[in-house]
Amino acid sequence: MLESIVKIKDKIEKFALKPSFVFVVCLIAFIFHALAWDVAGLLIFAFCGGLFFVFFDDCRPALTVLFFTIFVVSTQNSTGFPPESETNAYFRPDYYLRKSTIIPLVFGGCFLFGCIIFRCIKRRENFLTAKSLVPLAAVSLSLVLSGILSAKQYHYGESLLFALVGVASYLGLYAILSGVTDCLDGLLDFAMTLFSGVTLIISLEIIYVYFLNMLPPFEFLPENWKNCMRSGNFFGSIQCWKPYIVTGCGVSNQSGAMLAFLLPAVFYKIYKTERYVGYELLAILSALSIVLSLSRTAMLVGGPLFIVLSVYVGIKLEKKTTYFIIYGAFIVAALVALAIVTLKYDINIIDYVRPSTGPKLNGRNRYWKMAVEYFKESPIFGVGFAYPCHDPKFISEVGGSFSPFRALYHSFFFQLLGSSGIVGLIAAAYALINIAVRFVREKFEGKFFVFCFLIAFLVASLFDIIYFVPYYVFFAMFIIVVAEKQIYKTKKSDL
């Protein structure tokens, strides 16, 4: 009996190590997402991921399940991005606040976390590669100290809770990923395949948002479905329907920025895969999805990155003919589509991307102005993270529907400047320089693509809040972990 169980386990693990497993998990996650089976999907992914961490020798099957879990969250049950007017409210903000949702998800989350800790203890030698612990600990300490000089005035207790989200996002996730990820042959290729699968599911979920909005609200469907259906009422003003682009795990800006950040993975696979056409088509799909996300940050980061990576890989490829034919066809089709959209619907994407009011960066200047004022008020440790939520001047300046996420400055530089002051800036500079110097100095495969990842994430973080959203930081931390594992393995093989 035990031998039979071991054989079944070995067969499942063997299949889960194939690159195709990434796309199988991608498809399963998308099905749960599209059908709005959030609780069932999240529990299945949590339990499968946990069991894989405990019983499989290889970490890759469990990591595959772990990275796709968040994308199960559906558009229909998302809290969404609150529109300016209550009459336009379209998502059900109570789904993830119900006991029937919270209790099973807490149980599943605790099981998954327990299995991850078990894996970290079992493979504690993996922490030998974690050379970024001290730099990230310095950043974490600066976050914890934010606003401490005038604790009462700056609501330090609330600020500390917010800071701990940052600590968990960077130091916590980095430590966990370092602990569960083994130094394996082919780890980089696995990570690039995994991230390519993630670009596919984000693209599918963006397209699915459009599909939902094109349908009328059928009466037989649940209310949360009907609230996502607008009978194709898109065009008129981009700003009117952009808030409806919610993929479940993120709003339009974060979904688009994530696609831009993950582009290097797809191009790495084009470069390294003999039959690369599928990945080239995925790169094109990702580019189109970035435009469909209507995220200015994603377009401004992803556009140049797409061009640079296309040229770089095109030069490096041995078999270039098919590559350039596909790109030529794509460019022609894209120009035709742009002309049709511009002429028929009077929408100019270029004018949309460019700030409409000069150098004001589509309203972000209001946030940054307040961050500078807070820095002047408390230059050493800043005013913390909670103070803007209580400051009438900040709320008045930002305007619209206010929430803790709207209290973020939409730039990690200005976030540190206003919230953490000089101490935060010094700690972040130390961490960035430490990681950059090590990665430049050391030898490891795919260095160019790793730097493309990190630079794209940093640039996107200058204009959006992905720097403070754990499941986006998760990907940046994994890239650092993968690079460190490769450096360690290279050094060990050179001895």
Residue-wise pLDDT tens digits, 408-452: 898 999 999 999 999 999 999 999 999 999 999 998 999 999 999
Copy the structure tokens of residue 387: 């103070």
Rounded Cα distance between 307 and 169, Å, is 31
Look at residue 105 in the predicted model and tell me its pLDDT.
96
| Beta carbons of 292 and 247 less than 8 angstroms apart | no
| Beta carbons of 33 and 205 less than 8 angstroms apart | yes
Amino acid at 382: G
In sequence order, the β-bridge partners of residue 366 are none
Q: Which of 53, 56, 51, 102 is nearest to 77 (CA)?
A: 102
Q: Which residues of the chain have pLDDT under 70?
A: 1, 80-93, 234-240, 341-362, 399-404, 494-495
| Beta carbons of 418 and 369 less than 8 angstroms apart | no
Q: Tell me 404's DSSP state.
A: G
CA distances from 422 to 133, 318, 404, 426 (A): 21, 49, 23, 6
Which of helix, strand or coil describes residue 35? coil
What size, in residues, is the chain?
Answer: 495
Count of CB atoms within 10 A of residue 152's CB?
7
Q: Which pairs from 375-381 meet CB under 8 Å and 24+ separation?
A: 375/417, 375/418, 375/421, 378/147, 378/149, 378/150, 378/154, 378/421, 379/421, 379/422, 380/149, 380/421, 380/422, 380/423, 381/145, 381/146, 381/147, 381/148, 381/149, 381/420, 381/421, 381/423, 381/424
Look at residue 85 in the predicted model and tell me its pLDDT.
44
| Beta carbons of 409 and 162 less than 8 angstroms apart | no
Nearest 5°: phi and psi at 217?
-75, 90
Amino acid at 111: F
Q: Which of 478, 402, 488 is nearest to 174 (CA)?
A: 478
Largest Cα–Cα separation, the chain: 72
Rounded Cα distance between 178 and 173, Å, is 8
Looking up tokens 């393995």 gives: 489
* pTM score of the predicted model: 0.92
